[in-house]
Amino acid sequence: MDADSKKKFNPRIKARIRKNRQIMSKKIDNFFDWIKGAELIELKECNTSEDPVRPELNNVFRRSYGRKIYGVKYMGEIHAVMCFAYTNQIPRNVDELDKFSHDAYLQSAQRDQNIGQIAIAYTVWSKKKGGGKLIVKEVFKKIKKTNHLNRLITLSPLTEMATKFHSGNGANLIKVNQNTQNFEYKVIK
């Protein structure tokens, strides 16, 4: 390539780089706009077929015995979902989750109506980039405001994706079970 060719080529590369920067900047701005405008809401139900972790659990299970479904809503649409059970023990599987949340619910009926001391996140999924991280952050804030919840633990599948997601969001692996793993997000009030 001679010197004249380089002079003609370089302006094109520079223009392409400038255009790509503008596109990336716009995408980043759009990404943060949706996060700023999103809100955490409690849901009466969710589309369980969208759940990549536990689609076999129906909405009755997800709402029985004090269990909750939370969603991140933006512009009238749900972009991320997280389901919780409240317990006083850390479950190793869904059967224990069911039993422990049922026990915590019955115990609370006889006491102060506050169900369990541990929030167990047993499924989370996102339909929009950044939604999973956002819902973890928002639910974490909500748990910190409660008086009776002192731990946020997951009942996660034994997958690399789950490990990366929770580790990347600041959780520590506390136990590996036969088919699941438990991560803990530190709740400091």
Q: How confident is the model at residue 164 (pLDDT cuts 50, 70, 90)?
A: very high
Q: How confident is the model at residue 2 (pLDDT cuts 50, 70, 90)?
A: low
pLDDT at 188: 65
Please state the φ and ψ torsions of residue 9, each to the nearest 5 degrees: -75, -45
pLDDT at 31: 46
Which pTM was predicted? 0.75
Residue 164 CB coordination number (10 Å)? 10
Q: Is the pLDDT of residue 20 over 80?
A: no
CATH number of 39-185: 3.40.630.150
Higher pLDDT, 37 or 78: 78
pLDDT at 3: 53
Q: Is the pLDDT of residue 67 over 60?
A: yes
Instruction: Convert the pLDDT of each residue in 128-147 to its tens digit.
Output: 888 888 888 888 788 777 76
- Per DSSP, the residues of 65-89 read TT-EEEEEEETTEEEEEEEEEEESS
User: Which residues are CB-contacts of 119 (< 8 A; sequence separation ≥ 6)?
Assistant: 84, 85, 86, 139, 143, 149, 151, 152, 153
pLDDT-above-70 percentage for the chain: 76
